[in-house]
Structure formats: C-alpha cells, structure tokens
C-alpha cells in the first residue's frame, strides 16, 4: 500500500484524455512521437538516480492508478540465470499512486535516442512501453493547480519469462541478498531505491518496498 501526505493528489486529479496506443517496438514508438517536440518519461526504479538519457528538466511526480512492486526478475543487471534478481515494476491498482521522477525530453533527435536507450535497457529485459497519467508535484504556492501529463514508462509484461510475481517478503529478501548482476548486487538496488525515495518524498510511505527493505537489511546481517 502506498500512502502519501500529499492527499491533494487524489482530490485534485482530473482524468486526462485516453492515452495513445503503445507498442513494444522502437520503430512504432518513434513513429508515435515523430511529430512531438517533447516527451515526458516517468521513472520509478533506477531511472530515478540513473536515467541514462539526456533530458531538459526533471520533477518529482506521481503515477496515478499504479503501484510499485518488486515482481520482475532480472538476469543481467541485478542477477544471473542461476539466481535472478528482483527489480521494480508497476501493477495497475486504481486507488494507488507511485512516486518517482518525471523527465522531459525535448527535440525529435533526443526523443528518438531516449526511446532507443529505454528499449535496450528495459524492453529487452521483459518490459513493455506504456503511457500513464502522471501528476507533477506542484510547488507549495500552487498546490491547488496540479499538472497532469501523459508520460512514457516501462512496465513488466506479466507473461515474460523473467516475471517472478508476488511472494513472501522474507523469501524475496533472501533471494535479493544473494543475487548479483553486472550492475552490482540486487540488495544495492533495493536499498538505493528506498533511500532515494525517502530523500525525495520524506512524508510518503511505500509499504511493499519499505517492508522489503527491512527484511533485506536483516537478511544481510544473517548472511
């Protein structure tokens, strides 16, 4: 369960128009945005601290109607074939909000480069592109004027062969402490994510992630 002190999000959110169709192929994604001069990209995992693409501006934001879960397996960045790591994905949950960072990419060339980069980093590892409604955090002076945009993000395809799904948090923590990939230990990913979110959103709670974080810390002590 995700809890936010920013209760105005739920009350002030106005449903945006239906999102455009989405595709897992870069060619079709490029075609979709070929006439766009800017594109918002929402990050809720490692993109928060390591986006990997050029952007014009970044803002704290909330993905509306989505919950963050550590359900996607990873056999490259944070695990291997023998012991897949667990990384974040989003699941649809009507009354939930997921906090993260939204990045605005300006210019056709920069958009094309960013989409291609995300395909290599995310789509090749079991994710698909989705357009999701994202509410950009307003300044304290304009909390009554929230900005909602449609943003590109990557969500794990539940049918992909690496999808692990839900499990007991203690068991998940043991797996996370053991798994390691080319980008480093899986536990480093989970702890970095939790720590970055606390710094960015000190008043928010993410029960799933923060409870898993505590189990990971305990599992590290016992390891």
Q: Which residues are catalytic?
A: 122
At 206 the three-state DSSP class reads strand
3-state secondary structure of 205: strand
- What is the three-state SS of 121-185? HCHHHCEEEEEEEEEECCCHHHCCCCEEEEEEEEEECCCCCCECCCCCHHHHHHHHHHCEECCEE
Closest CA to 24 of 111, 119, 110: 119
Q: Helix H segments across 13-163?
A: 26-32, 108-121
């Amino acid at each position: 369960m995700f809890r936010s002190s920013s209760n105005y999000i739920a009350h002030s959110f106005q449903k945006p128009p239906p999102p455009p169709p989405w595709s897992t192929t870069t060619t079709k994604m490029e075609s979709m945005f070929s006439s766009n001069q800017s594109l918002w990209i929402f990050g809720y995992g490692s993109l928060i601290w390591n986006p990997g693409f050029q952007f014009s501006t970044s803002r704290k934001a909330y993905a509306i109607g989505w919950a963050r879960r550590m359900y996607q397996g990873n056999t490259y960045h944070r695990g291997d074939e023998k012991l897949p790591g667990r990384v974040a994905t989003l699941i649809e949950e009507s009354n939930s909000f997921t906090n993260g960072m939204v990045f605005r990419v300006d210019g056709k060339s920069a958009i094309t480069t960013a989409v291609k980069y995300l395909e290599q980093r995310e789509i090749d590892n079991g994710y698909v592109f989705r357009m999701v409604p994202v509410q950009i955090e307003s300044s304290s002076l304009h909390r009554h004027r929230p900005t909602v945009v449609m943003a590109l993000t990557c969500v794990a395809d539940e049918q992909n062969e690496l999808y692990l799904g839900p499990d007991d948090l203690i068991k998940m923590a043991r797996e996370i402490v053991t798994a390691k990939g080319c980008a480093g230990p899986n536990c480093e990913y989970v702890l970095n994510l939790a720590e970055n979110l606390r710094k960015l959103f000190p008043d928010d709670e993410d029960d799933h992630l923060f409870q898993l974080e505590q189990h990971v810390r305990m599992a590290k002590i016992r390891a």
